[in-house]
Amino acid sequence: MPRVLGIDIPGRKKLEYSLRYIYGVGPSISKEICEKAKLNPEMKADDLKDDEIQRLVAVLQNDYRIEGDLRREISANIRRLISIGSYRGRRHRAGLPVRGQRTKTNARTRKGAKRTVGVVRGKEARSAAKAVK
């Protein structure tokens, strides 16, 4: 299991797929990285030699924002939206979908588990309801 920038990437997978385990690297960026580092995307990550790993790390550090830097940038952008009070910022603060999705149904990932809303009655109302039956 080779270690690239402090992240263990799976060694038994092809390089093109194992690079995707790095936060901020998807399918197209993974191919670009392999081209820039002059690496075969079909080779297994375990087969990388030290000089190839160094080329890979150099490309990642110089050309792309990944892992901690990317996470910080995204959270800073969200904090900025919240602080200026934009519509998107208010949706982030409320924990609702930000990009215009419907919320009458669905949106369970953002809203959390369903909470049943019912009438809260006092003891007198409960006893009166039992007496009617």
Better-predicted residue by pLDDT, 14 or 120: 14
Check residue 117 and give its pLDDT.
84
Q: Using 50, 70 and 90 to split pLDDT, how confident is the model at 133?
A: low
pTM of this prediction exceeds 0.75? no
For the chain, what's the residue count? 133
Query: How many Å apart are CA 131 and CA 126, to the nearest integer?
Result: 9
Cβ count within 10 A of residue 47: 11
Which regions of the chain carry the CATH code 1.10.8.50?
3-64
Tokens 């670009």 locate to 32
Question: Cβ atoms within 10 A of the Cβ of 88, count?
Answer: 15
pLDDT (tens digit, 9 = 90+) per residue, 64-97? Answer: 998 889 999 999 999 999 999 999 999 999 999 9
Architecture per CATH, domain 3-64, reads as Orthogonal Bundle (1.10)
